[in-house]
Amino acid sequence: MPSGRSLPFIDFQWTGSWVKRKFRLRRTSDFKRVRQTGRVFTHPFLVLTVLPNENSSIRIGITASKAVGSAVQRNRAKRRLRAVADSMLSKLPAEWDMVLIARKPVLTADFVELREAVIGLMERAGLLPDSRKEFDDRT
């Protein structure tokens, strides 16, 4: 992956890392548990489902259904959500599992809109106080 170049299809600066493996939901059973028993928050760009976990760290799973589009489009949507999650990971409280589910409009949203959507959902879920200033790069 090129470093320091803006990737036009994602609209973010590559920092050389994604959500680290230890912070990812990987098992199908974990995804199902969060989806079936967690609290759901929706936005036109994505769906956020959260559930407290027994671990001492946050875990994030990102998915996109075939309704988003072809495999290329689904992977692009997941990369975009992963980039947003990676930029926020240090600010999120531990002991939560969360699943981000991409919707089709995530493909056309710019990175700032997408980040605002994720921050808004996390505030609604009670994972963040009203902290837009904390994530605002312009201040």
pLDDT at 7 over 60: no
- Please tell me the least confidently modeled range out of 17-21, 72-76, 89-93: 17-21
Strand segments (E) across the chain: 39-42, 46-52, 59-64, 96-102
What CATH number is associated with residue 74? 3.30.230.10
Please count the CA atoms within 13 angstroms of the CA of 83 that sit on its side-chain side: 24
Confidence tier at 111 by pLDDT (50, 70, 90): very high
CA–CA gap between residue 60 and residue 57 (Å, rounded): 10
Comparison of pLDDT for 58 and 77, the residue scoring more:
77
In a domain, 84, yes or no: yes
Q: Name the amino acid, one letter, at 116.
A: E
Angle at 97 between CA 37 and CA 53, to 5 degrees: 80
Q: Is residue 16 part of a domain?
A: no
Residue type, 52: P
Residue 119, domain member (yes or no): yes
Please state whether beta strands 59-64 and 46-52 pair in parallel, antiparallel, or not at all (unpaired). unpaired
For the chain, the domain total comes to 1
Q: What is the dihedral of CA 66, 22, 79, 41, to 10 degrees?
A: 60
**Domain for residue 2, yes or no?**
no
**Residue 130 domain flag:** no
- Give the CA-trace dihedral at 46, 82, 10, 40, to 10 degrees: 0
107 found inside a domain:
yes
pLDDT for the residue numbered 5 = 45
Structural domain boundaries enclosing 67: 22-125
Q: Is the residue at 92 inside a domain?
A: yes
Give the CA-trace dihedral at 132, 136, 109, 92, to 10 degrees.
Answer: -60
Flag whether 11 is in a domain.
no
